[in-house]
Amino acid sequence: MSAPTGNTYSNTETLVDTQKNKRAVTALQTFGRSLGLGLYSLFALFPLFWMVLISFKSDREMFNTLFIFTPTLENYEAVLLRTDYFMAFFQNLIVSGGAVLVTVVAGVPVAYALARYNFKHKEGVAFQILSFRFAPEIMVVVPIFLIFQNIGLLDTYLGLIWVYQLITMPLVIWVVRGYFEDISVEVEQAAQLDGYRWFEVFIKILIPLIKPGLVAACLLAFIFAWNSFTFPLVLTGFQVQTITVTSMRYIASDTVRFGQVAVAALVAITPQLIACLFIQKHLVRGLSFGAVKG
Amino acid sequence: MASIALENITKAFGKINALDDVSLEVKDNEFFVLFGPAGAGKTTLLKTIAGVEFPQKGLVKIDGEIVNHKEPMHRNISMVFESYALYPHMTVYDNIASPMRSKLYKKDEAHIRRQVERVTKMMQIDHLWERRPSQLSNGQRQRVAIGRCLVREPNAFLMDEPLAHLDAKLRHHMRGELKEMQSSFDTTTIYVTHDYMEAMSLADRIAVLNLGKIEQLGTPMEMYYTPNNEFVARLFGEPEINIFDGELTERSGELAVRAFGQAALLPVAPDAAKVLRGGEHRKVRVGIRGNDISFSFDEVPGWLRGSVYVNEPIGNKVILVADVGGVRLSLVVPNDTRAKIDQPVFLSLNMQHAIFFCAEKGTYIVRSNAAQHVSDAPGTKEEG
Amino acid sequence: MAELVLRNVYKQYENTEKSWFRKKKAQKLDFAVKNLSFSCNDGEFIGILGPSGCGKTTTLRMLAGLETVTDGDIYIGETRINNLLPKDRNIGLAFEDYALYPPLTVYDNLAFNMRAKKMSNEEIQKAIDYVAPLLKVDDLLDQKPPSLSGGQKQRVNIARAIVRRPKLLLLDEPLSHLDGKMRQGMRHEIKRMHHEIKCTTIIVTHDQMEAMSLADRILIMKDGELQQMGTPMEVYDNPENEFVAGFIGEPPMNLLPSVIQKEEGTLFFTFENSPLRVEVPKRYLGILESGKKVTLGVRPMDVMVAKQTTAGSYIPIAIYENLGDERRISVRVGDSLMNMITTDNVVYERGQEVQLEFYAERTHLFDPETGKRIRAN
């Protein structure tokens, strides 16, 4: 609602005019908005579309066709059947999933403690955890490499899951802490008076209340872990492979096999795509705080 | 069904003393009200009894047994929180059933259903079983919270400002409902409020708290008629009691108060005069309630002269504030009274009902006929 | 000098969100204010009273120019102000939350608006010297808002609204953030202030006590519609409908659904599940007949325990409360509680059986369907 303007024509005219104008304006607005959104989605989705396109192109047609070509499945065959790409896919799943699991088990209690208890340097600790996200991965990866080499964690699941905590832990702790803070202490106290042990209160009352935030944070953490490139590039070798690193294999020294890279990338984004489609609603609601207030 | 005793409870948050050496005893089956302004430490005291806050010093006893070390769940106490503290993800039914589903107080589902039916009917929320707290109005949430508290048979009910967030009409209505239910509770109840009407209406006994200390402990009538000090006097009654400075003088052998810089003297009742003469007091503070002042717009000899500061019609009565020598006196006048601002008004104070306070410390000295007022039977004899 | 007139004012909000992709027309919401007409005289103190969502704040915002008027006219004096910008309306507005400028002293806060209008320092000084003592902020002029208490802030806030001598002063729930005792004192200050400057003032509130004690006349609104307008005693003694009757007064008026029945040639109000019978007062005899359903309204002050025993039925006391200043008795009539207030000194007990006596001249009847007042001929 805007403030009335200082025009001075008579009352009835004003009303009729504004109503007519309004209808025209809304129609125009609708059209304009749709056009804008259409253009934007074209712009945003085009690389994806292009990737799907070139995944069906043979190397011969890669550079001399745009939209019209003879589709072929040879890239898919090469990547999915003739290399161990699937293995990398599952190993990536283990590493990322494991990282998120560890984060939930360790991070949710940390978040609870940060939300509920008062102790010295609490905010300092909380900020320290968040600051892990600030450091560029490339800066810490070299010392970690040396340490891992010495203690034998190089190229192991455990090592990678451990390092991934730098990515996943801050996110989950900060989101879940906000959720815990939104829950009134009195709800917990009420449950205790109802005769529940602290652990039962945690499982029966608190977990359901933070669930939207937890799910959203875990999903985001999973995606960040899944997409991580620097850590696996340096810290893995032959035993453990992640798809981000494996995709690079199709860029050989003499030639880049764009078709195969495209297939690898498409396979790599499927879990995220599926997850996002299914829990999109959760994601939006979960990351906007205060959803649990009742 | 238990007595509760607190001994020398002290608790501080940082440097602020929330509770400062509080001792009190609540008898079995008593309806006990903790009353005081915001920040007095009422809620902290209640939570200390519940066991969700811990005193730094002092003992909490339930039925004579020290329970300081006991977990809240083992104290068998149910509580209504000011914020209601309902479980947002559960329906009304599950919220109320929750205390009977814990391992400790486990009951079978048929029993639970009967009990939930009983309390929801009592609270008139039996049509809301399937709702979640977010779909309820404040009044309904509050009734669910009370229902969850009443569904068990605990050692004691603790109620923390259960009516505070309701609007005036609903609060009035719920106070009536609570008062009527009270006799069927049959359980020790400790009730926290900052509304003097709730306190006076519901309480068997009241403890007035201020800044973590008990100012006075006694029956509602003691609070109203013989307050320990000016602070307590001001808390009870609407409009607030008028307290003004006075100087004791002798007038032809009778004690009287000179006040407001006016020639008219205020006589002191003989029994009060005896006490006042016995003390060292020359200067006193005099408290008198709005009901005990008569007024006239025509000059009456011997009455105090003042002017109308404001008059407020509030329906069944008019509150008239008079300016008497720079002091404001509020009085209750009939609802058909019309007054113009700044018009002269003449007042007569019913000094039989005056309360005398010490001028320096503000503590209670005397009032006429105190024992009779406090006995809660003012109608048995004609007053004054 | 500044008479305020509203003529058939409507306000309708439109829900434009979501409309584009559902291909629906912009959704029109219900009228927030419906056909509101009233006028207030120069220097009058008007209270707009109603529950939340009744359109009272919308009305105030339209007066201030913060909302457009969908239909109708608003005049201040001779000027139609519908299309004037807020700054050109010469209106002083004090919001519910104080909205003071924290880095400025109280003096600068008061002077802010006048400085914007390039008034000379002497003029500003003069205006503040006049207003500050009225609201007792003259000792606070050097302080900054964060160091003030809630009541002081609200006084500064109101002082700021009146310092430039507006034609119309609008107060939006000015007391709702203050606690009980403070509110009482502040009410007195506002009333005194109005008495001094005699500026046309409109206060919006949901607290009937506030409206009753401050206003010369009260408008009671519900669902965007004006229910009644009148002096405090008029709306208290003569409510137009059931809503007004229930909204004004603390404790509220008892509203009891009842059926008229004839017994031995006399008409009685009877109540479901209650032995209570009340004889129909003479003035209603012409308009009531046996079997008619009405809602009987009676103020807690106008019903009492009968001093002498009559033939009527006995009812047990459900609640007896001694509140010091007064005593309240409630009895069950069907499902509802009926409240009585007495100031006499008789002590009753819960469960004691008593007879009731109604102050027949002060009973009100309402139509149970429409809620409209049924008046005696």
Say what the pLDDT of residue C231 is: 93
C339–B176 CB contact, under 8 Å:
yes
Contacts of A34 in chain C (CB under 8 A): 20
Say what the pLDDT of residue A242 is: 85
Residue from B150, B99, B89, B158 nearest B125 by CA: B150
> Chain C residue closest to B223 (CA)?
C324
Domain match, C194 and C112 both: yes
For A228, the enclosing helix (H) or strand (E) is: none
Residue from B243, B188, B233, B230 nearest B33 by CA: B188
**Could you say which residues of chain A have pLDDT below 50?**
1-17, 289-294
> Chain A residue closest to C23 (CA)?
A30
Say what the pLDDT of residue A18 is: 52
Q: Which of C195, C228, C247 is the last residue of a domain?
A: C247
Q: How far apart are CA B266 and CA B263, in angstroms?
A: 10
Domain match, C334 and C263 both: yes
Q: How far apart are CA C279 and CA A106, in angstroms?
A: 75
For B208, the enclosing helix (H) or strand (E) is: strand B205-210
Residue pLDDT, tens place only, B307-316: 999 999 888 8
> Chain C residue closest to A25 (CA)?
C26
Half-sphere exposure of B117 (CA within 13 A, CB side): 6
Strand partners, C331: C317, C338
> Which residues form the domain of C179?
4-247
Contacts of C26 in chain A (CB under 8 A): 22, 26
Domain match, C177 and C110 both: yes
Residue from B287, B285, B320, B316 nearest B306 by CA: B320
Task: Give the gap in angstroms from C-alpha A29 to the nearest C-alpha of chain C.
Answer: 9
Say what the pLDDT of residue A290 is: 42
Domain match, C322 and C181 both: no
> Chain A residue closest to C18 (CA)?
A30
Q: How far apart are CA C136 and CA B263, in angstroms?
A: 30
Task: Let me know: does C171 contact C203? Beta carbons within 8 Å.
Answer: yes
Contacts of C66 in chain A (CB under 8 A): 3
Residue tagged 């008579």 (tokens): A10
Task: Give the gap in angstroms from C-alpha C185 to the nearest C-alpha of chain B.
Answer: 11
Strand partners, C200: C168
Domain match, C179 and C279 both: no
Largest CA distance in chain A: 87
In chain B, pLDDT over 70 holds for what percent of residues? 97
Query: Smallest Cβ distance to B176: which of C207, C214, C337?
Result: C337
DSSP-derived secondary structure for B232-260: HHHHSSSSPPEEEEEEEEEETTEEEEEET
Can you tell me whether residue A169 is helix, strand or coil?
helix
Q: How far apart are CA B293 and CA A99, in angstroms?
A: 78
Peptide bond into B133 cis (omega under 30): no
Chains that touch A (3 or more CB pairs under 8 A): B, C
A176: its two tokens: 């879940």
Task: Let me know: does B207 contact B214? Beta carbons within 8 Å.
Answer: yes
Residue pLDDT, tens place only, B303-351: 999 999 999 988 888 999 999 989 999 999 998 888 899 999 999 999 9
A294–B104 CB contact, under 8 Å:
no
Residue B224 has pLDDT above 70, yes or no: yes
Domain match, C267 and C121 both: no
Does C345 touch chain B if contact means CB atoms closer than 8 Å? yes
Here the CATH number for the domain that contains residue C29 is 3.40.50.300
Residue pLDDT, tens place only, B249-290: 988 888 999 999 888 889 999 999 989 988 877 899 999 999
What is the rounded average pLDDT of the residues B112-140? 89
C319–B240 CB contact, under 8 Å:
no
Between chain A and chain C, how many beta carbons pairs sit less than 8 Å apart? 38
Task: Let me know: does C133 contact C168? Beta carbons within 8 Å.
Answer: no
User: Average pLDDT of chain A?
Assistant: 82
Domain match, C240 and C130 both: yes
If pLDDT is split at 50, 70 and 90, which confidence band does B113 have? very high
- Domains of chain B by start residue, with CATH: 4-227 (3.40.50.300), 235-374 (2.40.50.140)
> Chain A residue closest to C22 (CA)?
A30
C236–B201 CB contact, under 8 Å:
no
Contacts of B179 in chain C (CB under 8 A): 319, 321
Task: Give the gap in angstroms from C-alpha C364 to the nearest C-alpha of chain A.
Answer: 41
Q: Which of C247, C270, C303 is the last residue of a domain?
A: C247
Contacts of A113 (CB under 8 A, 6+ apart): none
Can you tell me whether residue C79 is helix, strand or coil?
strand
Query: Smallest Cβ distance to C319: which of B176, B224, B240?
Result: B176
DSSP-derived secondary structure for A39-80: HHHHHHHHHHHHHHHHHTS-TTTTTT-SS------HHHIIII
Query: Smallest Cβ distance to A186: which of B71, B83, B148?
Result: B83
Best B13, B102, B165 member to test A by mutation, with max A CBs in 10 Å, is B102
B240–C250 CB contact, under 8 Å:
no
Say what the pLDDT of residue A284 is: 65
Domain match, C291 and C340 both: yes
Does C251 touch chain B if contact means CB atoms closer than 8 Å? yes
Contacts of C262 (CB under 8 A, 6+ apart): C268, C290
C212–B314 CB contact, under 8 Å:
yes
In chain B, pLDDT over 90 holds for what percent of residues? 61
> Chain A residue closest to C61 (CA)?
A3
Does B217 touch chain A if contact means CB atoms closer than 8 Å? no
Here the CATH number for the domain that contains residue C258 is 2.40.50.140
> Chain A residue closest to B156 (CA)?
A193
Contacts of B197 in chain C (CB under 8 A): 321, 323
Residue tagged 């717009």 (tokens): B297
Q: How far apart are CA C307 and CA C356, in angstroms?
A: 9
Query: Smallest Cβ distance to C321: which of B201, B312, B341?
Result: B201
Domain match, C288 and C232 both: no
Best C8, C18, C20 member to test A by mutation, with max A CBs in 10 Å, is C20
B72–A205 CB contact, under 8 Å:
no
Task: Let me know: does C8 contact C38? Beta carbons within 8 Å.
Answer: no
For B356, the enclosing helix (H) or strand (E) is: strand B355-358
Q: How far apart are CA B220 and CA C323, in angstroms?
A: 8
Contacts of C65 in chain A (CB under 8 A): 3-4
Q: Residue-wise over A98-112: b if at least 16 C-beta within 10 A, else e? A: bbbebbbeebbebbb
Does A7 touch chain C if contact means CB atoms closer than 8 Å? yes
Domain match, C261 and C330 both: yes
Interface subset of A 104-133, CB within 8 angstroms of C? none
Does C248 touch chain B if contact means CB atoms closer than 8 Å? yes
Residue from C40, C72, C67, C39 nearest C55 by CA: C67
Say what the pLDDT of residue B380 is: 37
Does B164 touch chain C if contact means CB atoms closer than 8 Å? no
Say what the pLDDT of residue B304 is: 92
Domain match, C209 and C337 both: no
Q: How far apart are CA C327 and CA B237, in angstroms?
A: 12
Q: How far apart are CA B213 and CA B206, in angstroms?
A: 14
Contacts of A196 in chain B (CB under 8 A): 73, 102-104
Q: Which of C198, C231, C247 is the last residue of a domain?
A: C247
Largest CA distance in chain B: 80
Per-position pLDDT tens, chain C of length 377: 578 999 999 998 876 554 444 445 556 677 889 999 999 999 999 999 998 888 999 999 999 988 889 899 999 988 899 888 888 888 888 887 777 888 899 999 999 888 888 889 999 999 999 889 888 888 999 999 888 888 888 889 989 988 888 889 999 988 887 877 788 888 998 999 999 888 999 999 998 999 999 999 999 999 999 999 999 999 999 999 999 999 998 888 999 999 999 988 888 899 998 888 888 888 888 888 889 999 999 999 999 888 877 767 889 999 999 888 889 999 999 888 899 998 777 888 888 898 888 888 889 999 999 999 998 86
Does A24 touch chain C if contact means CB atoms closer than 8 Å? no
Best B43, B52, B77, B96 member to test A by mutation, with max A CBs in 10 Å, is B52
The pairing of beta strand B242-251 with beta strand B213-218: unpaired
- Domains of chain A by start residue, with CATH: 76-287 (1.10.3720.10)
Domain match, C195 and C314 both: no
Chains that touch C (3 or more CB pairs under 8 A): A, B
If pLDDT is split at 50, 70 and 90, which confidence band does B144 have? very high
Residue B381 has pLDDT above 50, yes or no: no
Does B153 touch chain A if contact means CB atoms closer than 8 Å? no
Chains that touch B (3 or more CB pairs under 8 A): A, C
Residues composing chain C: 377
Counting the structural domains of chain C, the total is 2
Query: Smallest Cβ distance to A4: which of C19, C71, C82?
Result: C82
In this prediction the ipTM stands at 0.86
DSSP letter at C83? T
A194–B88 CB contact, under 8 Å:
no
